[in-house]
């Protein structure tokens, strides 16, 4: 898996889970939890290296710029909005 593929996977599969966690802790999306996001990125990279899904050099990948500022999309709210509000 390349970094670009990993970023796509992380954005599509992991970020919705992070959004849900952030929503449990906050009432608004004004302040993304940067440490939570960075730690999850690092944990996923480490796990994928151990599983052999990304190369060893993936440990040197820097966080993508969008990680700190990404907000939930309308698509996210359509998929998960009811689950979050309950």
What is the residue range of 79's domain? 3-85
For the record, the structure tokens of 62 come out as: 């820097």
Predicted confidence at residue 25, as pLDDT, reads: 67
Q: What's the predicted TM-score (pTM) here?
A: 0.77
Q: What are phi and psi of 74, to 5 degrees?
A: -60, -35
Q: Return d(Cα 68, Cα 31) in angstroms, integer.
A: 10
Predicted confidence at residue 27, as pLDDT, reads: 54
Predicted confidence at residue 14, as pLDDT, reads: 92
Predicted confidence at residue 59, as pLDDT, reads: 93
Name the domain count of the chain.
Answer: 1
Low-confidence ranges of the chain (pLDDT < 50): 86
For the record, the structure tokens of 39 come out as: 């730690």
């Amino acid at each position: 898996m390349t970094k670009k593929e990993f970023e796509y996977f992380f954005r599509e599969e992991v970020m919705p889970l992070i959004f849900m966690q952030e929503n449990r802790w906050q009432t608004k999306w004004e302040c993304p939890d940067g440490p939570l996001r960075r730690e999850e990125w690092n944990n996923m990279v480490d796990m994928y290296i151990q599983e052999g899904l990304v190369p060893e050099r993936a440990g040197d990948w820097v966080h993508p710029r969008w990680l700190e500022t990404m907000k939930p999309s309308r698509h996210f709210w359509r998929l998960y909005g009811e689950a979050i509000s309950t």
